[in-house]
């Protein structure tokens, strides 16, 4: 099977780490690689998205994923802006992923992944619909502290949580739902 080079544009390195771990769970083999740009903020991501997309095509990326937390933006407007940025750049396929409100909502979907990652004695209680939590990063921090008195650090723990997550648990996060289908058409064929 040929390896697919996927371009990723994200706000932070830990967003790419989460996506990588989840991609490993969704692909038949490790038949993909990531080339990435990290914006260190949403404003810069939106401003540089088109230019970075062109560079990723020149680097040999056939597919593109843009990850941008919803935060307080209007999802339709944000999606339109990002779609406009990458339209016509030359990718075989692209996907705009907009976690609601932050990518940490995805990590809140699996209490057993949290238990394993933080070596908790009990399975923590997580929201049934994590994307309804306004500040999922802070909510995750509070769950970890309350459950085991450990400090949650997103740059360290997000990758570990994603590595432990049961992929079927992500079905409670509608913003994630397009990703498995995208990978199935892009990487697994």
| pLDDT over 60 at 1, yes or no | no
pLDDT digits 0-9 by tens, 98-156: 999 999 999 999 999 999 999 999 999 999 999 999 999 999 999 999 999 999 999 99
Q: Which one of 2.40.50.100, 3.40.50.300, 3.40.50.10620, 3.40.50.720 gives the CATH number of domain 4-102+174-186?
A: 3.40.50.10620
Residue 9 pLDDT grade (very low, low, confident, very high; cuts 50, 70, 90): very high
Contact predicate 89/59, CB 8 Å: no
Q: How far apart are the C-alpha atoms of 94 and 127, rounded to whole Å? A: 30
What are the residue ranges spanned by the domains of the chain?
4-102+174-186, 104-167
What distance in Å separates the CA atoms of residue 91 and residue 185, rounded to the nearest whole number? 13
- Structure confidence by residue, pLDDT tens digits, 22-81: 999 998 777 899 999 999 999 999 999 999 999 999 999 999 999 999 999 999 999 999
């Amino acid at each position: 099977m040929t390896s697919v080079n996927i371009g990723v544009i994200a706000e932070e390195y830990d967003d790419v780490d989460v996506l990588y771990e989840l991609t490993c769970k969704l692909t038949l083999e490790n038949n993909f690689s990531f080339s990435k740009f990290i914006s260190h903020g949403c404003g810069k991501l939106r401003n540089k998205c088109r230019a970075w997309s062109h560079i990723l095509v020149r680097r040999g990326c056939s597919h593109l994923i843009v990850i941008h937390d919803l935060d307080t933006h209007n999802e339709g407007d944000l999606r339109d802006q990002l779609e406009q940025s990458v339209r016509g750049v030359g990718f075989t396929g692209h996907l705009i992923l907009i976690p609601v409100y932050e990518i940490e909502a995805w990590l809140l979907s699996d209490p057993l992944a949290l238990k394993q990652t933080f070596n908790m004695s009990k399975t923590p209680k997580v929201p049934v619909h994590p994307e309804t939590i306004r500040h999922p990063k802070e909510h995750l921090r509070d769950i970890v502290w309350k459950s085991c008195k450990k400090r949650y650090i997103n740059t360290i723990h997000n990758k570990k949580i994603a590595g432990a997550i049961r992929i079927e648990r992500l079905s409670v996060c509608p913003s994630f739902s397009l990703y498995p289908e995208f990978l199935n058409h892009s990487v697994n064929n």
